[in-house]
Each structure stands twice: as C-alpha cells, then as structure tokens.
Amino acid sequence: MLDAEFFRRWMTATAASVEREAERLTALDSPIGDADHGSNLQRGFRAVREALDKEPPATPGAVLTRAGRLLISTVGGASGPLYGTLLRRTGKALGEAAEVERGQLAEALGAGVNAVRQLGGAAPGDKTMIDALVPAVDALGGSFAAARDAAEEGAVATTPMLARKGRASYLGERSIGHQDPGATSSALLIAALVDASAETEAGGE
C-alpha cells in the first residue's frame, strides 16, 4: 500500500532528479523551444518540496493536489498548467483514502493524463509529454520499473516525431530529430516512483 509519505517521497525524488537534469532539460528545450524547461521545473519542484517538507499533507490525494496547485502558481509557460493539471487531477481521483494500491494510482494517473490531453489538445504522436505519460500509465499495472522503462522509451521515441503542439510545433519539419523536453521530464517524474518505492524497501518496515 502507498501512503501519504510515499507520495511525498515521490515528489521529493522528482525534485531531486529535476535538479540533477535541469541543464539537460533546458538544453533539449533550446533547439525546439525557448530554453527554459529545466529552470521552469526547477522553480516549481523546489516550491513543491519546500511546501511538503514544511507541512506534509495527510493523504496521497492531498499531496498531489497540493503539488499540482503549486506547480500552476510557480511554473510559467505551457508546462506549469499541464503538470499542475496532471497532479491535481490525479490527486482528486485518489480521493480521501489514507493509503492506495498501485492499481488505483495507475487508474488515477490515467485520469490525470486525460485531463492534460483535454487541456492541451495533444494526442499520442504529437511530440509532447503525452508520449511518455500514456505508455507509463499503460505499464503501471505491471510495476513501477515497467512504467519507468515505458516512459523512458516513450520520451526517446519523440525524437523522429514532428511536433504538433506547443512551441516546437512552430518549427514544423525542423522539430524532427530532437527529443521533446516535456516527454523527457515526464520520464523523470515516472522514474521517481521507483526511487520512492526503493526507499520503502530500504527502510525495511
């Protein structure tokens, strides 16, 4: 079972990998965007980590809705509202439960991804974060590690795609041949689930 503490660790682990990978995310956003994706997410996840450390919410749903609201208010650009919606909608779908199973998280994250698709209008194949998130949700029923691998493969698979949404779409054919920054950061978010669960096992409880 996954409790509020697990979800807090998930957000903390995401914040840590965003710190580690911020330069790479910004570099990916340079040829097909405006070179701010790493710094955008760094600002957002720093705020999330600080808020959750200061006052840890009591339920998994509350951790994610809180994180989502903070991302919306601190991250500029397209990715703030999109990531904020992802986490807020996922948190809402988890409801008030004190603990949830991985299958429930998979279902809730599916609802979150659908909300992102509605907000941004992107479908799989449009070269966005959706291309990492959809395969991750599909694999999450299997294991966190399977979801991590699926998200990573999904991110890599955006390279040959033509961007149809967001700034990269302004480049048309010239967007081909570059990995999408948002799909790359989404893969970090999903990989952080593995980090958060590894800590539980290492804790040996």
Rule CB under 6 A: which residues touch ligand ADP?
29, 33-34, 36-37, 40, 77-79, 82, 120-122, 128-130, 165-167, 180-183
* Nearest residue (CB) to Mg ion, 12 versus 39: 39
CA 144 to chain centre: 14
- By CB atoms closer than 10 A (0-12, 13-18, 19+), residue 160 is exposed
Residue from 21, 29, 107, 126 touching Mg ion (CB under 5 A): that is 29
- What is the SS3 assignment for 142-186? CCHHHHHHHHHHHHHCCCCCCCCCCHHHHHHHHHCCCCCHHHHHH
Smallest gap from Cβ 86 to ligand ADP, in A, equals 10
Smallest gap from Cβ 34 to ligand ADP, in A, equals 5
Q: If binding is defined by CB under 5 A, does position 170 make contact with Mg ion? A: no
- 39 touches which of ligand ADP, Mg ion, none (CB within 5 to 8 A by kind)? none
* C-beta contacts of 200-203 below 8 A and 24+ residues apart: 200/6, 200/9
Smallest gap from Cβ 136 to Mg ion, in A, equals 22
Smallest gap from Cβ 197 to ligand ADP, in A, equals 25
Q: If binding is defined by CB under 5 A, does position 149 make contact with Mg ion? A: no
> What number of other Cβ atoms are within 10 A of residue 177's Cβ?
11
